[in-house]
Amino acid sequence: MLSLYDMLCKHFMKGAALALVLLPCVAVAQEQEQVEEPKNQFTIDAELLTRGEIRSGGLPNEEDQPDEKTAKFILERTRLGLDYERDFLKAHITAQHSSVWGQAGKGSFNLYEAWAQLTARNGLFAKLGRQVLSYDDERIIGSDDWTVTALSHDVIKLGYEGHGHKAHAILAYNQNSENVNGGTLYLNGDKPYKTMQTLWYHYDFQKIPLGASLLFMNLCIQGGLEEQPKKQFYQQLLGGYVSYDDGRWSASGSHYRQIGKAEQGVKLRSWMVSLRGTFTPVAKWRFIAGYDVLSGDDNFPIPGEGQIGLMQHKVIKGFTPAYGSHHKFYGAMDFFYVSTYLNTFTPGLQNIYAGIDYWPIDKLKLNATYHFYATETKLTNYDKPLGHEISLSASYKPLKEVEISLGYTFMKGTKTMEALKRVDQDHCLNWAWLNVVVRPRFLQVRW
């Protein structure tokens, strides 16, 4: 009769023998699993945008142009993107061409994006090269993707993301050329600043759907004629953004200030405040309301027809919303912070708006928005109201890669708007557009 010890040894030997038989199979299975799991991914995709526009009214024609009140044209933008990803490395390149249909030898062709990113396990990362910067609601820094050329920056971005925290540091240094003589000159370059340093911090609260951000930006603008000594003017932008969204109610607000010096060394002291709220009573309806106010310059001159109307300012008080997506906030007509006034100063802006989003069927969205515009500063011999704008739009996605959208906007301007912008005498402007975007993916390979 076997003892307990002999029985245990016998079972152990059987188990060891079985393990020796199964171990190679397990090793082979693990090896196959490791071999089959892809470590590299390469993707080729594209974006084909076509937008037709009809505009009636607006800025006057040049003296040598036909006196036509209506403009019709078709814009195109083509992007070809290459993506590579492996473990903690990402790289991306986007070539971009934009033009108007029928242009001969014109248009714009450039390298829109070209960057590489390294990411560590602990959430630290470094992203180097030409890249799109998009922060918060894109009011200060955004892609401005509505414009066919859009915005990108040549920067190095260092940061950390994890546990509800996001912290980014952005550094840029731009030059006209690599010449030994004159190699520090930066005038009329592709980017609007010579140097830029930006710090951005965001925190998402864990127990409530609330997020908050802080932003600081330091810009160096270089001015002066080429044959004269160059001067560098530094200006700073600082402020914050807060957003709340529980699915039914949402609210957001921001406040920013600009200090330092504008071009030619004039002192800069400006500010802006924005408030926005939405209410979604049911899944198909959303109601929107908001108010923006951007500071303007004191004693803003409105010259008569044919006059220049320049005035010397000791302090610039007009706020400039930096490199944001302006079309997204201040009306579809792009009269504010995209086109300029009659001189380099601004009377600021008050923008009160309300709108409705409606989804009648899946993948179809309808929108109606009303804007009331007024200046922020008081004008001599003119009232503050600038006019009213009503925009209607619809967007539909028949396929995942295809989006079709169209819209119509009507603006009724005041005499103040006519004087500031030189719009048509009847103060009425119309704009209609049809936009088609196709985003095909040509290739995706994993190995």
Q: What is the pLDDT of residue 340?
A: 57
Q: What confidence category does residue 139 fall into, taking pLDDT thresholds of 50, 70 and 90?
A: very high
> What is the C-alpha separation between 446 and 85, in angstroms, rounded?
10
pLDDT at residue 273 in the model: 98
CA distance 143 to 147: 9
pLDDT tier, 177 (very low <50, low <70, confident <90, very high otherwise) = confident
**Average pLDDT rounded to a whole number, residues 353-378:** 96
Report the pLDDT averaged over residues 337-354.
Answer: 79
- Closest to 256 measured CA to CA, from 217, 300, 298: 217
Q: Which amino acid is at 294?
A: L
DSSP state of 265: G
CATH 2.40.160.100 fits 82-93+107-434, yes or no: yes
| Mean pLDDT score, 279-291 | 97
Task: Judge whether residue 21 has pLDDT over 80.
Answer: no
Asked if residues 367 and 357 have their Cβ atoms less than 8 Å apart, the reply is yes
Q: Where residue 175 falls among pLDDT bands split at 50, 70, 90? A: confident
Task: Look at residue 288 and give its three-state secondary structure.
Answer: strand
Find the length of the chain: 447
Residue type (1 letter), 3: S
State phi, psi for 393 to the nearest 5 degrees.
-150, 160
Residue 390 has pLDDT above 90, yes or no: yes
pLDDT at residue 384 greater than cutoff 50: yes
Other CB atoms closer than 10 Å to residue 444's CB: what's the count? 11
Residue 322 CB burial class (10 angstroms; 0-12, 13-18, ≥19)? buried
| Percentage of residues of the chain with pLDDT beyond 70 | 81
User: What pTM, to 2 d.p., does this model score?
Assistant: 0.85
**At 5, is the secondary structure helix, strand, or coil?**
helix
Give the angle 64-60-394 at the CA atoms, nearest 5°.
125
Q: Assess whether pLDDT exceeds 60 at residue 22.
A: no
Query: Torsion over CA of 432, 60, 328 and 441, rounded to 10 degrees?
Result: 60
What would the mean pLDDT of 190-207 be, rounded to a whole number? 93
Residue ranges per domain, the chain?
A: 82-93+107-434
Give the CA-trace dihedral at 358, 361, 362, 366, to 10 degrees.
Answer: -30
pLDDT score recorded for residue 324 = 93
Query: Considering only 274-288, 365-379, 418-432, which range has the smallest mean pLDDT?
Result: 418-432
**273-297 residues labelled b (16+ CB within 10 A) or e (exposed):** ebebebebeeeeebebebbbbbbbb
Tell me the pLDDT band of 141, cut-offs 50, 70 and 90.
Answer: very high
Question: Taking a C-beta distance cutoff of 8 angstroms, is the pair 388, 394 a contact?
Answer: no
Q: Whole-number mean pLDDT of the chain?
A: 86
Q: How confident is the model at residue 190 (pLDDT cuts 50, 70, 90)?
A: confident
CB burial string 67-103: b at 16+ within 10 A, e below: eeeeeeeebbbbbbbbeebeeeebbbbbbbebbeeee
> Once rounded to an integer, what is the mean pLDDT over residues 63-72?
65
pLDDT band at 68 (very low <50, low <70, confident <90, very high): low
Distance CA 74, CA 76 (A): 7
- Ranking 54-58, 403-407, 411-415, 432-436 by mean pLDDT, the lowest is 54-58
Mean pLDDT of 248-261: 97
| % pLDDT > 90, the chain | 64
Instruction: Kindly indicate the confidence band of residue 263, based on its pLDDT and cuts at 50, 70 and 90.
Output: confident
Of 281, 199, 277, the closest CA to residue 240 belongs to 199
